[in-house]
Amino acid sequence: MSKIGKILPVALKTLFTKPSTEAYPYVKKLVEDDFRGKLEFNCDVCIGCNICTRVCPAKAITIEKVEGEEKKFKAIVHLDRCIYCAQCVDSCPKKALKTTQAFELAGFETGNMTVEV
């Protein structure tokens, strides 16, 4: 059988099937409950132990003390480095970090990829 004879049935079959892709961003994708998206930080709970910074394989998170406030910390996350493994979330003894369902984090400049959460 010639190549066209082999290709033609497959081409006709796929011509009338529904596409497997979605028209993102026009069709919003539903995210699972256990999706590991952008980090959320609760500064009121953080004790500044820096366990999250030590366990992060990508070195994407740092914890800094807030100037002028005692026992208050802020988290700085480098989204361009983060691999969304949630090791920092799992290791936090006070559960100050959690993952959200936010996944639209693309940017045009690497300077915009460092955020304070």
Short-list 30, 94, 28, 96, CA closest to 61: 96
The dihedrals phi and psi of 5, each to the nearest 5 degrees, come to -65, -30
Q: Are 52 and 88 in contact (CB under 8 A)?
A: yes
Using 50, 70 and 90 to split pLDDT, how confident is the model at 1?
Answer: low
CATH number, domain 29-116, options 3.30.70.3270, 2.60.40.10, 3.30.420.40, 3.30.70.1140: 3.30.70.3270
**Mean pLDDT of all residues in 82-99:** 96
Helix (H, G, I), strand (E, B) or coil at 72: coil
User: Do residues 82 and 97 lie in contact, with contact meaning Cβ atoms separated by under 8 Å?
Assistant: no
Q: Under 8 Å CB-to-CB from 88, ≥6 apart: which residues?
A: 39, 52, 53, 55, 56, 61, 97
Confidence of residue 108 (pLDDT cuts 50, 70, 90): confident
| pLDDT classification of 18: cutoffs 50, 70, 90 | confident
The domains of the chain are located at 29-116
Q: Is the pLDDT of residue 55 over 90?
A: yes
- In this prediction, what percent of the chain has a pLDDT beyond 70? 99
